[in-house]
Structure 1
């Protein structure tokens, strides 16, 4: 499927995604403590429809112009052209940013999508030598044909669903099916030549039976994410697991690639990495996407699990050395 980049939408200012965050991260209607929002699972407010939220986010974007992106190609390091990265969950908030960043680095990318037609609306038309699209669903083991992995050197998996029942659960898109069965099916299908699997998970997965995390886990999202993690860890796959805090900045599901490349994390660019499921807080989706890409080649991250938050301040951007130092310091703290 051939895919080319077109520049039609305006660029964004530093405040636009702070506005977007306020519009799209209102407290859920369930009366649980506010610190539960630290979990990286998606919460959809019942008080605002998805279409309405997207329209308002787009309106906020169009108010602002001329902001340098943390994903801008001019800031991206040079990567090996021998890579072929398979992105699973590419239509989600983190997944879209992963794809945009990979393409800005001229890294050949393959997508596994339940609905391949989404690729054009999200990422535009591009040459098939740059972006390939395959149809498939990790929930169905028969969909994971070996040809999907032909030539794939690295995989970034950022599939997920909502923590509480919502329309996103339609079609059996529940945490059990996505975060447990989907990850299990994926691992069983992986080729032995894979160099790295980076899996996006959530903070709090080791504490799903204790308050306040047990409330977030009422429908099993943290338990099933932990089961997926454990299956990855028990395999021979060279993995890196990134447990995200509560996701901010977005959603980006109404933007094309050109706009994604202009997305910013506002003031929340500084990165906090830890191990042992100790962090409680928020993280920009852009920071999570960058962490996934940086972890692909770092030997120190192999078969390791990290938690990630972002706070106000200057961050590592796309500097590989700064990211290496962050990952290494997480292991010594």
Structure 2
């Protein structure tokens, strides 16, 4: 089953990502086309006040106010790609949307899952020429067999756990093991032919010892994410890091691809980008997933870090 994502990229030369390298003020983020109103999303500069943001958005979305889903089950354009994208953390909320978006673009996808049986319940039966599934855990370096990366051109890593102790920590699934050791193990295993690693991180990682971030970091989640980021940055890997605000919307647990078709960004359709870890706020999972997909092909996002939020209309 195909998905349709209204938000698509223009060329890098006209993208807002590129503008981020030329501006000292906080820039807007996703280089969506001018017809973005079709899916209800609007690009806004981070420096713009809330009242002005709302005025900017109203006109763009007024005609589309009845549309609630960015991942609407419409007929998808035909896309073809020579990519093979490895998605790590595909069973999470962002990861599920990343996989759905890749499939909608007819991009061959490989999943690295601790429990491969989840793939069918999450994404349904797929042609193995389109969707491959491998068993592995980035926390265990021995799991990262070189064959996992055979033919892989791009990787999107959206692994993570909770900031505070919870049931998700069972089985040594702590921030130290996932966000630090897991990322370190992954980078050490990457082939030299990799074209891009897109890593989902968090806003506030550079301020983990400063209030209010120090509260979120009581059990080290921001510190370990920063250590993972630093290891990526110190490597020769061509990376893009997306630091997300607090995640909202989208699936927490999906049951099949049809569920993902109903994913919505809700009212958070105004998308904001910054650099320098200055943003505070929340972001739709759908927006983060789309940012990851878009960053794969943009040369101007290579070895760059972006913070991303989305605000209500």
| TM bin (shorter chain) | 0.7 to 0.9
Give the Å deviation of 1:49: 38
Any gaps of 5 or more consecutive residues in structure 1?
312-332
Shift in alpha-carbon separation, 1:169–1:25, aligned structure 2, 3 A:
farther
Instruction: Indicate the RMSD between aligned Cα atoms, in angstroms.
Output: 11.7
Write out per-residue CA displacement over residues 218-265 of structure 1, whole angstroms, 9 at most, x where no aligned residue: 100000000000000000000000000010004431331112022111
Q: In structure 1, how many angstroms separate the alpha carbons of the residues matched to 2:280 and 2:252?
A: 24
User: TM-score under structure 1 normalisation?
Assistant: 0.73
**Aligned equivalents of 2:60, 2:148: Cα separation in 1:** 38
How has the CA–CA distance of structure 1 residues 309 and 62 changed in structure 2, closer, same or farther, with 3 Å as cutoff?
closer
Show CA shifts across 1:174-212 (max 9, x none): 000000000000000000000000000000000001111
For structure 2, list consecutive stretches of 5 or more residues without a partner in the other structure.
Answer: none
Give, in whole Å, the separation in 2 of the partners of 1:38 and 1:2: 19
How far off is 1:83 after superposition? Answer: 0.6
Maintained 8 Å contact 2:198/2:242:
yes
The alignment partner of 1:294 has SS state of helix
Shift of 1:105: 1.0
- Could you tell me whether the CA contact under 8 Å between 1:12 and 1:65 is conserved in 2? no
Q: Deviations over 1:72-123 (max 9, x none)?
A: 4758676542011000000000000000111111111000000000000000
Normalising by structure 2, what TM-score? Answer: 0.77
Native 8 Å contact 1:94 1:288 kept in 2: yes
TM-superposed deviation, 1:297: 0.2
Q: Is the 8 A contact 1:13 1:65 kept in 2?
A: no
Kindly state the Cα deviation for residue 42 of structure 1 after the two structures are TM-superposed. 26
Secondary structure of 2:55's counterpart equals helix
Q: What SS is found at the alignment partner of 1:23?
A: coil
Residue 110 of structure 1: SS of its match in structure 2? strand
> Per-residue deviation at 1:34?
35
The alpha-carbon deviation at position 167 of structure 1 amounts to 0.5
Closer/same/farther in 2, CA of residues 75 and 286 from structure 1, 3 Å limit: farther
Following superposition, the deviation at residue 277 of structure 1 comes to 0.1
Q: How many residues align?
A: 312
Aligned partner of residue 290 in structure 1, secondary structure: helix
274-283 or 27-36, which deviates more: 27-36
Query: In structure 2, do the counterparts of structure 1 residues 241 and 89 end up closer, same or farther at CA, with 3 Å as the change threshold?
Result: same
1:306 CA displacement: 0.2
